[in-house]
Amino acid sequence: MSASVSPTALSALLAGTTQFALIDVREAGEYNSSHIPGASLIPRRSLEFQMADAVPVKRVPIVVCDDDGRRASLAAATVKRMGYPDVSVLQGGMNNWVTQGFPTEWGVNVPSKIFGERVQVEHHVPTIKSTELHDRMQRGDELIILDTRTPEEYRRFCIPGGRSVPGGELALHITDITKDLSRDATVIVNCAGRTRSIIGTRTLQRMGLTNVYGLENGTAGWVLAGLELETSADRVELQDASPEGIAAADAYTDRLAEEDGVRSLSVGELQTRAARGEHDTVYLVDVRTREEYERGHIPGFRWLPGGQAVQRCDDLAVVKNSTLVFCCDRKARATTTASWYRQIGFRQVYAVQGGTTAWAESGLPLEQGMSVAEPFGVAEAREEARLVSPQQLVSSLATSTVIFVDTSQDFARGHVPGSRWVPRGWLELQIEGVARSKAAPVAVTCNDGLNSALAARALEELGYADVSVLDGGMERWHEAGLSLETGLAGVMSSPTDVVPSGVDRSYADMVTYLRWEEALGARHRSE
């Protein structure tokens, strides 16, 4: 049985300077609808996959919350099994928090949204409407459109003619991108909505560019204006920066460091600071491109490109009052990211002086490949599970209850015919409504066989005697060429586990979302 913490005590923790983590273990849709300010979202089904990065120091106090305490109690038991000794459950969950009059907020990645709107208000970041941009494109004006989202988002769809320059790369590459433009050329910065375009435009504004605008409401605004997006574009501006580009970025970030209070760490100081990570939470983050990171990174650094690190600061810095150290190959991208974090309000923020270049020149080794934490307990659960092939599962379909434990979106894309969706976060609370007899066969499926192995262990702990796991999940089922059922068959209420983003939203939801972001700026004006 885990300890509990009252809403009053949690409110005091949030207002203090102690290192602790507040983790909301509900699903993304529930969190998006309403959550405690300062809570980081790690759905219960993701704890084994994310906790090692989210809370790297085991002794840090952790508070878990949900709506009424039931899932939080189950989650707390999981977190304790992972080796975290100080885990508490919010008494009565969000329901009790609200009943006692404490504040809530809605949306995801709210700190970065507030930051973006504050920057817009304080610095009068210039914007351009989609209709005006389209008119200028039709007129043949000299324009360059820079998309600051991830390359993956960009390739899916973009403003026609846009080039991919993720936000964390802007300062390093803008000199080379604009060197052949005339004085009359206009630079347009866009993202999916507002935040990344505001921050990117402000970056170029601070670098001295004058004819630069953020696209108001990004690709969502473009769609709402009745305009067509381009798909499958491949204009990615991430080639090596020239000496002139590097010099301009370095001069800019030297000024940023002084103005925004960004401190640097030498290689020796980094080693000392990283060693403290055994006792003090220090997040080590490499903000370069994925390709650069995989070619060689400082051991212990995880990868999150600069623009995304800012967009998802509440996902990254789960432990409150922790230290963040950013790294690139020299200093420009790490310092830019650190500057943004300082402006958001983080106190202990550093950039590695000289980055991976200085580390290698000191004779220290770099690691290659993608550094990913091993999911807790999955290997053991797979060893204990009775794994079945797709063909074996087909032969037992007539007598087995088949459940799918990943997200509703995954379930809708394709599941074993006749499967029931029982999300892993709710498994213990919903399984009896689907598999009433604990003696009857239950087959567990998911996308790749990982979550299903963990779910199978939970079912056996509940007393289910005949549990099997589809080895390799639906990926293996696809490979076998077996038939699929699609859609939300058997799902009787609207799923709350997936929040659409960008143009995946309905028109009405896009408008609501954009108005919410704008309202954050209005709130800042009133304060």
Q: With bands split at pLDDT 50, 70 and 90, how would you rate the model's confidence at 524?
A: low
CA dihedral 316, 475, 369, 451 (to 10 degrees): 40
| One domain for residues 87 and 137 | no
Q: In whole angstroms, what is the distance from residue 203 CA to residue 174 CA?
A: 10
Is 502 a domain residue? no
In this structure, is residue 223 part of a structural domain? yes
| pLDDT surpasses 90 at 236 | no
If asked whether residues 389 and 442 sit together in one domain, one would say yes
| Residue 420 falls inside a structural domain | yes
- Contact between 24 and 35 under an 8 Å Cβ cutoff? The reply is yes
Does residue 315 fall inside a structural domain? yes
Q: At what angle do helices 170-178 and 243-260 cross, to 10 degrees?
A: 140
**E strand residue ranges, 412-473:** 420-421, 442-445, 467-470
Cα 495 to Cα 489: distance, rounded to the nearest angstrom: 12
User: Taking 70 as the threshold, does the pLDDT of residue 426 lie above it?
Assistant: yes
Question: Would you say residue 418 has pLDDT above 90?
Answer: yes
| Partner residues linked to 41 by β-bridges | 24
Last residue of a domain, one of 439, 454, 479: 479
Tokens for 297, please give them: 């990174």
**In 3-state terms, the chain is what percent helix, strand and coil (to 5)?**
45, 15, 40
SS (H, E, C) 493-504: CCCCCCCCCHHH
One-letter identity of residue 225:
A
Q: How far is CA 339 from CA 292, 345, 395, in A?
A: 22, 10, 59
Mean pLDDT score, 221-235: 96
Residue 334 has pLDDT above 80, yes or no: yes
Structure tokens belonging to residue 349: 């923020």
Residues 94 and 182 in one domain: no
CA distances from 10 to 86, 92, 216 (A): 14, 12, 38
In a domain, 489, yes or no: no
The pLDDT confidence band at residue 279, using thresholds 50, 70 and 90, is: confident
Same structural domain, 458 and 420: yes
CA distance to 348, 441, 442, per residue, from 465 (Å): 51, 8, 9
Q: Using alpha carbons, select from 434, 407, 429, 432 the residue that is nearest to residue 419.
A: 434
Cβ atoms of 319 and 19 within 8 Å: the answer is: yes
Q: Which class for 494: exposed (0-12), middle (13-18), buried (19 or more C-beta within 10 A)? A: exposed
CATH classification of the domain holding 21: 3.40.250.10
Predicted confidence (pLDDT) at residue 319 exceeds the cutoff of 70: yes
What is the residue-averaged pLDDT of the chain?
95
Q: Flag whether 128 is in a domain.
A: yes
Residue labelled with tokens 């408008």: 511
Kindly report the three-state secondary structure assignment for every residue of 269-289.
HHHHHHHHHHCCCEEEEECCC
Count of domains observed in the chain: 4
CB atoms within 10 A of CB 93: 24
Q: Is the dihedral of CA 286, 288, 291, 292 positive or negative?
A: negative
* Three-class secondary structure of residue 237 per DSSP: coil
Residue 199: closest CA among 143, 129, 146, 274: 146
Question: Which residues are registered as beta bridge partners of 442?
Answer: 401, 467
Confidence grade of residue 503 (pLDDT, cut at 50, 70, 90): confident
For residues 102 and 187, membership in a common domain is answered with: no
Q: How far apart, in whole angstroms, are the C-alpha atoms of residue 166 and residue 199?
A: 11
Contact residues for 304 (Cβ-Cβ < 8 A; gap 6+): 285, 286, 287, 312, 316
pLDDT of residue 373: 75
The answer to whether residues 59 and 17 belong to one domain is: yes
Give residue 237's region: left, alpha or beta (phi > 0; psi -120 to 50): beta
Q: What percent of the chain has pLDDT over 70?
A: 98
Residues 101 and 139 placed together within one structural domain of the fold: no
Decide if 521 is inside a domain.
no
Instruction: For 387, list phi and psi in degrees, rounded to 5.
Output: -85, 135
pLDDT of residue 275: 82
Retrieve residue 255's tokens: 């000024």
pLDDT at 522 over 80: no
Tell me, yes or no, whether 100 and 24 share the same domain.
yes
Residue with tokens 């000199």: 175
Residue 527: its pLDDT value, please? 55
User: Looking at residues 99-115, what average pLDDT do you find?
Assistant: 95
Q: Are 285 and 325 in contact (CB under 8 A)?
A: yes
Confidence class for position 127, pLDDT limits 50, 70, 90: very high
Which residue type occupies 53?
D
Q: Are residues 282 and 333 in the same domain?
A: yes
Residue at 138 is within a domain:
yes
Asked if residues 144 and 159 have their Cβ atoms less than 8 Å apart, the reply is no
Query: Residue 178: which pLDDT band, with cuts at 50, 70 and 90?
Result: very high
Residues 306, 285: Cα–Cα separation, whole Å = 9
Residue 42 to residue 25: CA distance in whole angstroms: 5
423 and 351 inside one domain: no
Last residue of some domain: 53, 82, 108?
108
Average pLDDT over residues 101-119: 95
311, 402: one domain: no
* Torsion sign, CA atoms 508, 513, 518, 524: positive
Q: What are phi and psi of 225, to 5 degrees?
A: -80, 0
| Domain ranges, residue 26 | 3-108
pLDDT, one tens digit per residue, over 150-160 is: 999 999 999 99
Burial 464-479 (b: 16+ CB within 10 A, else e): bebbbbbbbbbebbee
Q: How far is CA 118 from the centre of its chain?
A: 21
CA–CA gap between residue 314 and residue 321 (Å, rounded): 12
Instruction: Assess whether 262 and 234 both reside in one domain.
Output: no
Encoded amino acid at 62, one letter: I
**Helix pair angle (110-123, 507-526), 10° resolution:** 60
Answer yes or no: is pLDDT of 328 > 80. yes
